[in-house]
């Protein structure tokens, strides 16, 4: 179909661009008789285009005429035409689209202009960063989104052009993956050579600063002129703070060829973070530049260096090529034509279009619907693309104008990379109207997000917020008397979901349902920034922060982000201890031999060793590893790579096998429900003690698995199977059990494959390790239960009655249930202790328990219907008095299948199908003769119904409190190893009932020696609130191990009201951002990018 840029042209009857026209410049020198004629452009051709416009679908011929008029007005850089052998850019000189009464529903058009061939001209964005003055002291290098499918990307200066081989990040939107480029590099602690100290700091870009506290301490970086950046004129920009010691920050720029280029000494002028910049310097020689930041004096102060970057002082250009310009992530405008049927909406390109319906503007991630006809509220409907369709979230409102419609909307400009609208509102609340208050908003919607600038007339301060679609739900009051009271006041409903917005340094929008579970899954996250006087409002959207929403309630090890390139590359040469990245699923014989840079699997007693990566799931791609079988014993031995791994009983395996006779084969196998099947095998030449490379190419679309052994260029062995399409990746070694039999080494694990992000509703996760008194969470239906705070367990010790302890409020269905149980009654009678699930009432439920009498131990699965117990299945197991045993139940309500696991066994000891119950409450059970102790109750299941808050790592306030004057601890938890090293967003939503008074909230993370020593550098976060508007407190924490720290962590969330009033607390939770401390993906990126305004301008220029 013919398009001019993103504009569709229905019918072209004539297209000619063959006639060349030369443009010359005439120069008349004073000392010569004849003028000099200089040809400026030899490749401008005359364009002639003819055709007719006819209605198509909901779009009339007049609407198409508007589109062509827009083409005539905009820059030719947006007018790419590739049709009928004509490939280039259109600059319209004149256009005629007469309307004839003789021909109904048809308009002829004629376009004359210039044609600039694509072989000679290219599109480029001109940009120049401006240091933005803001409260955060943030300046940031430009980040530029290009169209989907952009290629031949080049960075140009007036002196040189270099190719950019890779994008910074890709963002998945409605039209595909939009590449974002960061042409000039950022220098921070991750790529620095430094003699300073890298120190945790939450408000820093990478959660860390480089601290220089002694004279001569430095941080330095290198960049290649002519390779990393082009020749040009530059300055150094850095974000830093110190104690305002004059002339203490020394900056040196030197070249490997030129020597010292720049030496300057600066001071911050204050103790807050500021952005400083050096003088301009020339970098016009191809060489390696070294940028060095150094502490110049011996004064007792600390320079905290966040980051720095090299900033061009010239207007840089990012040139690119793309084959088409429609549906490539451009900003689009629609007229709804008075219907909700989107197929009947028409695309609008002309700013003079007369809208008959609502105005819709979208960029592939966000959609805004502007409705001037709406009365009763501010008519801007806001939606997010969730990967499948647009999900309506609510409406934007202004607090002072929440009863007034939009008075007027004007579209200033429509381009594929930016649309600007101007909105006017007046009146508002009675006192606002009486003052003649008025508001004009300028909306700039770009491919990266949206900026909203407020121009207010009058004395009121206007607050932007999201107004939910009308509905009601319940929040909770937490008062000084520690009584939780329900209220429908202050609810912020959003259909069946709620929305909360942080107002700290890091701004996010979190979406959850009434039970605090992640109920909405967008393909991205939102941030905004507003200033104290609300003069402007900015919101940015980036898909790479998907985990802020979709992983609200995942464990950290599963909280992978979606910003990695496709394919994502992971490598490990085992030269450092990376054991924290892996789960050892089978066996205990793994050792990281960092001295030799290898991973060893050795056991004299075990026959199998299996581990996998914790955080990354992959689909199709390339997997490879080097293996060496060390054992020379005459037994079968093998080593290989596991992929498509669901669990230990389901996965693929490619291995090198050496049998007892020394013959070697390369095998492809799959394991389904614990049963191995050979898919293919081929003989290879291999001996013990020698390294061999195994490379696997896996195409999940076809199921083809191809294996290349020891660097082979042709396939060694192949198979086709579609049982698994994605999964974890791991390593496996096996041998017949015996001394020295299992001895294998691995090296150079490499993965280049599509990363899989879990989507869809996540199960709710409840855990209770009973280290604190959580009795308020349970109903003691039968028996008397006690909490042992010393041992961190819950007990039922009365042997004369049975005991049932039922979890309040929460009903669960499909999922897993587990607990550790110990029988403590020594009487030689039948004693039982276990976990109840699908409880309807005390007479209807399932039970999985351990059983011990005078001579028999077993695991038993029961059901109780109408008060009558019936045994479904049993399995003999050794049960000893006074020892803990773990029971785990996997329940599928759709099929009724129940699998019961004992201790850490990898296959169920009981499998039974029963469809009597599909969901219900969860509890603990002790029979009449029993006395028992329990620990570590954990539920990962779909929550069915609930009248209270649920728990996710940390949960709602119903999980107890702890008083420590002057604070009221809404949350106090010790999580043992449930919070691994990683990055988290701590979020709480709170509200003061008395306007004008101040409350404080704080969160501290401690190690478990409980000596109030923070387990991370810094003393936690402490903030005040004083608004009568619901607000959200949030910041980033990163638990990690320090010398002497216990691996356990304690997190306190506290609220204190100085005036002894009431504080409403909706929830407190941790959102895992990344499960790996070493992850290069940081949530702070989004806050810093919000400060970027590179002043982009799209142009055409001659290729060079």
Task: Pick the last residue of a domain from 893, 928, 945.
Answer: 945
Q: What are phi and psi of 891, to 5 degrees?
A: -125, 130
CA distance 99 to 64: 12
Q: Which residue has the tokens 């696997």?
A: 696
Quick one: 457 and 473 in the same domain?
no
- Using the structure block, give the residue that is written with the tokens 């009597």: 916
CA angle 946, 387, 980 (to 5 degrees): 60
For CA atoms 1011, 1012, 1013, 1014, the dihedral sign is: positive
pLDDT tens string 250-264: 999 999 999 999 999
pLDDT at 977 over 50: no
Which tokens is 1072 given? 């895992």
Instruction: Specify the DSSP class assigned to residue 549.
Output: H
The last residue of one of the domains, among 438, 461, 484, is: 461
Residue 637 lies in a domain: yes
Gyration radius of the chain over CA positions:
33
Strands (E), 947-1062: 951-952, 954-955, 962-964, 967-974, 983-992, 999-1007, 1021-1025, 1031-1037, 1049-1057
HEC secondary structure over 997-1024: CCEEEEEEEEECCCCCCECCCCCCEEEE
For residue 586, give the 3-state DSSP assignment: strand
- Calculated CA dihedral for residues 1056, 1058, 1062, 1066, nearest 10 degrees: -30
Confidence of residue 501 (pLDDT cuts 50, 70, 90): very low
Does 47 share its domain with 57? Answer: yes
* HEC readout, 550-584: HCCCCCHHHCCCCCCCCCEEEEECCCCCCHHHEEE
The model's confidence at residue 1046, banded by pLDDT at 50, 70 and 90, is: very low
- Most confidently predicted of 614-618, 854-858, 1058-1062: 854-858
* Residue bearing the bigger pLDDT, 30 or 253: 253
The answer on pLDDT for 279 being more than 90 is yes
Give pTM, 2 decimals: 0.50
Q: Are residues 338 and 280 in the same domain?
A: no
Q: Quick one: tokens of 49?
A: 């285009």
* pLDDT value of position 1088: 52
The model's pLDDT over 982-1030, given as tens digits with 9 standing for 90+, comes to 444 444 444 444 444 444 444 444 444 334 443 333 334 444 443 333 3
- The whole-number average pLDDT for the span 51-72 is 92
Q: Classify residue 547: in a domain, yes or no.
A: no
Measured distance CA(872)–CA(598) in Å, rounded: 49
pLDDT at 897: 92
For the chain, how many residues are written? Answer: 1104
Question: Helix-strand-coil percent breakdown of the chain, rounded to 5?
Answer: 5, 55, 40
Identify whether 529 is part of a domain.
no
What are the phi and psi torsion angles at 23 (to 5°)? -105, 130
Report CA 420 to chain centroid distance, whole Å.
Answer: 28
CATH of the domain at 993: 2.60.120
| Peptide bond preceding 567 in cis form (omega within 30 of 0) | yes
Q: H-type helices in 780-848, by residue range?
A: none
| CA–CA gap between residue 132 and residue 139 (Å, rounded) | 6
Are both 40 and 154 inside the same structural domain?
no
Mean pLDDT of all residues belonging to the chain: 73
Q: Residue 664 — pLDDT band, cuts 50, 70, 90?
A: very high
Dump pLDDT digits (tens) for 629-658: 999 999 999 999 999 998 888 999 999 999
Residue 532's pLDDT is 30
**Residue 557 forms part of a structural domain:** no
Residue 532 covered by a domain: no
For 720-742, write each residue's pLDDT tens digit.
999 998 888 999 999 999 999 99
d(CA 972, CA 279): 51
Beta-carbon count within 10 A of 1026 CB: 13
Domain assignment of residue 958, given as a range: 468-516+953-1076
User: What are the residues whose beta carbons fall under 8 Å from the beta carbon of 582, sequence distance 6 or more?
Assistant: 590, 611, 612, 613, 614, 730
**Which has the closest alpha carbon to 640: 630, 649, 629, 632?**
629
3-class state of residue 63 by DSSP: helix
Tell whether 344 and 393 lie within a shared domain: yes
- Token output for 331: 């900003």
CA-nearest of 849, 853, 845, 825 to 835 is 849
**638, 684: one domain:** yes
How confident is the model over 880-907, as pLDDT tens digits?
A: 999 999 999 999 887 889 999 999 898 9
Instruction: List C-alpha distances in Å: 232 to 162, 257, 1067.
Output: 12, 16, 52
Report if residue 545 sits inside a domain.
Answer: no
Beta-bridge partners for 604: none
**What digits encode the pLDDT tens for the residues 373-416?**
654 444 677 676 666 777 665 555 554 444 456 777 889 999 99
Highest mean pLDDT among 132-141, 169-178, 787-796, 1029-1038: 787-796
Helix (H, G, I), strand (E, B) or coil at 770: coil
- Give whole-number Cα distances, 160 to 144, 186, 207, in Å: 20, 21, 35
Q: State how far the Cα of 503 lies from the Cα of 1033, in Å rounded to an integer.
A: 6
Four-CA torsion 329, 335, 336, 337, nearest 10 degrees: -150
How many Cβ atoms from other residues are within 10 Å of residue 1077's Cβ? 16
Phi, then psi, of 664 in degrees rounded to 5:
-120, 140
pLDDT given at position 811: 73
Residue 271: its pLDDT value, please? 76
Q: Domain tally for the chain?
A: 7
Say whether both 127 and 105 belong to one domain. no
β-pairing verdict for 449-457 and 438-446: antiparallel
pLDDT at 76: 93
Considering the domain architecture, whether residues 822 and 812 belong to the same structural domain is answered as yes
Specify if 103 maps to a domain: yes
Domain boundary among 119, 137, 162: 119
Co-location of 490 and 404 in the same domain:
no
Burial of 229 (0-12, 13-18, 19+ CB in 10 A): buried
Residue 689 burial by Cβ neighbours in a 10 Å radius (0-12, 13-18, 19+) = exposed
Q: Which CATH number characterizes residue 696's domain? A: 2.60.120.560
Tens of pLDDT, residues 201-249: 756 776 689 999 999 999 999 999 999 999 999 999 998 988 878 889 9
Q: What is the DSSP string of 678-744?
A: EEEEEEE---TT--EEEEEEEETTTTEEEEEETT-SS-SEEEE--S-S-EEEEEEEEE-SSTTTEEE
96 lies in the same domain as 178: no
Positive or negative CA dihedral for 468, 472, 478, 479?
A: positive
Selection from 869, 879, 1100, 1091 nearest residue 142 by Cα? 1091
29-44 as b/e: b if 16+ CB within 10 A? eeeeeeeeeeeeeebb
Does 687 reside within a domain? yes
Same domain, 70 and 152: no
- What does the block give as tokens for 108? 């002829």
| 3-class secondary-structure state, position 167 | coil
β-bridge partners, 424? 408, 440
Structure tokens at 914: 């029963």
**CATH code for position 198:** 2.60.120.260
Residues 682 and 716 in one domain: yes
Question: Tens digits of per-residue pLDDT, 906-946?
Answer: 899 999 999 899 888 899 999 988 899 998 888 877 654 32
């Amino acid at each position: 179909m013919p398009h001019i840029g993103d504009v569709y042209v229905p019918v072209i009857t004539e297209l000619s661009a063959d006639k060349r026209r030369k443009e010359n410049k005439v120069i008349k020198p004073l000392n010569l008789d004849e003028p000099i004629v200089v040809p400026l452009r030899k490749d401008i051709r005359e364009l002639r285009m003819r055709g007719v416009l006819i209605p198509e679908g909901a779009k009339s011929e007049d609407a198409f005429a508007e589109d062509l008029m827009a083409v005539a007005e905009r820059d030719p850089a947006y007018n790419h035409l590739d049709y009928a052998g004509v490939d280039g850019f259109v600059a319209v000189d004149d256009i005629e689209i007469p309307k004839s009464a003789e021909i109904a529903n048809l308009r002829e058009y004629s376009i004359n202009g210039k044609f600039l061939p694509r072989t000679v001209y290219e599109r480029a964005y001109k940009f120049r960063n401006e240091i933005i003055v803001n409260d955060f002291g943030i300046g940031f290098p430009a980040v530029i989104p290009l169209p989907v499918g952009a290629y031949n990307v080049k960075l140009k200066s007036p002196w040189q052009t270099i190719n950019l081989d890779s994008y910074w990040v890709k963002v998945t939107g409605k039209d595909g993956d939009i590449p974002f480029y960061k042409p000039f590099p950022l220098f921070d602690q991750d790529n620095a050579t430094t003699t300073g100290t890298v120190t945790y700091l939450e408000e820093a870009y990478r959660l860390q600063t480089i601290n220089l506290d002694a004279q001569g301490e430095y941080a330095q970086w290198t960049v290649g002129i002519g390779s990393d950046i082009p020749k040009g004129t530059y300055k150094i920009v850095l974000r830093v703070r110190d104690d305002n010691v004059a002339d203490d920050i020394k900056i040196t720029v030197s070249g490997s060829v030129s020597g010292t280029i720049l030496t300057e000494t600066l001071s911050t002028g204050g103790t807050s973070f500021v952005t400083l910049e050096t003088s301009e310097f020339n970098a016009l020689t191809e060489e390696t530049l070294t940028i060095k930041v150094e502490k110049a004096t011996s004064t007792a102060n600390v320079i905290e260096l966040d980051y720095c970057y090299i900033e061009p002082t010239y207007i840089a250009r990012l040139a690119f090529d793309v084959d088409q310009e429609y549906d490539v992530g451009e900003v689009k405008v629609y007229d709804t034509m008075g219907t909700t049927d989107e197929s009947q909406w028409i695309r609008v390109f002309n700013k003079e279009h007369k809208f008959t319906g609502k105005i819709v503007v979208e960029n592939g991630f966000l959609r805004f619907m502007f409705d001037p006809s709406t009365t009763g509220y501010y008519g801007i409907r806001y939606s997010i693309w969730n990967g499948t369709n647009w999900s309506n979230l609510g409406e934007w409102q202004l607090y002072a104008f929440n009863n007034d419609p939009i008075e007027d909307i004007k579209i200033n400009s429509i381009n594929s990379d930016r649309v600007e609208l101007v909105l006017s509102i007046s009146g508002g609340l009675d006192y606002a109207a009486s003052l003649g208050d008025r508001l004009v908003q300028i909306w700039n919607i770009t491919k990266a997000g949206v900026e909203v600038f407020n121009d207010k007339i009058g004395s009121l301060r206007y607050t932007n917020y999201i107004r939910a679609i009308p509905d009601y739900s319940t929040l909770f009051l937490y008062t000084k008397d520690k009584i939780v009271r329900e209220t429908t006041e202050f609810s912020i409903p959003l259909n069946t979901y709620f929305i909360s917005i942080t107002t700290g340094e890091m701004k996010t929008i979190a979406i959850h349902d009434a039970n605090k579970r992640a109920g909405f899954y967008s393909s991205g996250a939102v941030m905004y920034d507003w200033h104290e006087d609300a003069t402007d409002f900015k919101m940015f959207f980036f898909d790479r922060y998907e985990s802020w929403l979709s992983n609200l309630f995942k464990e950290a090890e599963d909280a992978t982000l979606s910003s990695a390139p496709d394919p994502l590359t992971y490598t490990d040469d085992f030269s450092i201890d990376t054991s924290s990245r892996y789960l050892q699923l089978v066996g205990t014989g793994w050792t990281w031999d960092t001295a030799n840079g290898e991973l060893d699997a050795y056991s004299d007693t075990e026959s199998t060793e299996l581990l996998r990566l914790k955080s990354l799931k992959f689909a199709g791609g390339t997997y490879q590893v080097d293996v060496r079988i060390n054992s020379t014993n005459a037994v079968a031995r093998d080593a290989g790579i596991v992929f498509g791994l669901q669990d230990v009983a389901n996965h693929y395996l490619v291995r090198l096998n050496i049998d007892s006779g020394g013959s070697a084969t390369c095998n492809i196998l799959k394991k389904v429900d614990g049963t191995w099947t050979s898919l293919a095998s081929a003989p290879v030449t291999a001996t013990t003690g020698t390294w061999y490379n195994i490379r696997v190419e896996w195409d999940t679309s076809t199921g083809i698995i191809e294996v290349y052994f020891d660097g082979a260029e042709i396939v060694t062995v192949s198979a086709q199977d579609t049982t698994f399409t994605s999964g974890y990746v791991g390593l496996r070694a096996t041998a017949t059990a015996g001394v020295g039999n299992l001895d294998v080494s691995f090296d150079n694990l490499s993965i280049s494959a599509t990363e899989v992000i879990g989507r869809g509703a996540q199960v709710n996760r409840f855990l209770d390790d009973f280290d604190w008194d959580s009795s308020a969470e349970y109903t003691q239906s039968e028996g008397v239960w006690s909490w042992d705070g010393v041992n961190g367990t819950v007990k039922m010790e009365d042997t004369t009655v049975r005991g049932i302890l039922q979890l309040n409020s929460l009903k669960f269905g499909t999922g897993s249930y587990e607990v550790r149980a110990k029988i403590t009654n020594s009487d030689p009678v039948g004693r039982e202790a276990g976990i109840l699930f699908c409880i309807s009432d005390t007479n209807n439920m399932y039970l999985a328990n351990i059983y011990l009498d005078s001579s028999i131990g077993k695991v038993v699965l029961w059901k109780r219907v109408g008060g009558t117990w019936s045994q479904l299945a049993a399995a003999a197991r050794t049960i000893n008095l006074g020892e803990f045993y773990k029971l785990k139940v996997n329940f599928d309500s759709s099929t009724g299948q129940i699998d019961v696991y004992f201790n850490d066994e990898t296959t169920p000891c009981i499998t039974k199908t029963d469809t009597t119950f599909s969901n219900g409450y969860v509890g603990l059970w002790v029979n009449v003769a029993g006395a028992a102790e329990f620990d570590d109750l954990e539920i990962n299941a779909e929550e069915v119904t609930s009248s209270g808050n649920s728990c996710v790592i940390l949960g709602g306030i119903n999980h107890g409190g702890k008083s420590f004057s002057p604070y009221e601890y809404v949350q106090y938890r010790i999580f043992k190893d449930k919070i691994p090293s990683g990055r988290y967003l701590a979020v709480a939503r709170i509200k003061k009932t008395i306007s004008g008074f101040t409350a404080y909230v704080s969160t501290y993370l401690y190690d478990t020696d409980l000596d109030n020593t923070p387990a991370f550098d810094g003393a936690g976060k402490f903030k005040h609130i004083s608004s009568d508007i619901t607000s959200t407190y949030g910041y980033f924490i990163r638990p990690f191990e320090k010398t002497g720290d216990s691996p356990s962590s304690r997190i306190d969330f506290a609220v204190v009201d100085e005036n002894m009033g009431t504080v409403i607390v909706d929830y407190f939770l941790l959102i895992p951002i990344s499960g790996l401390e070493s992850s290069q993906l940081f949530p702070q990126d989004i806050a810093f990018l919000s400060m970027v305004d590179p002043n982009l301008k799209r142009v055409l220029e001659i290729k060079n």
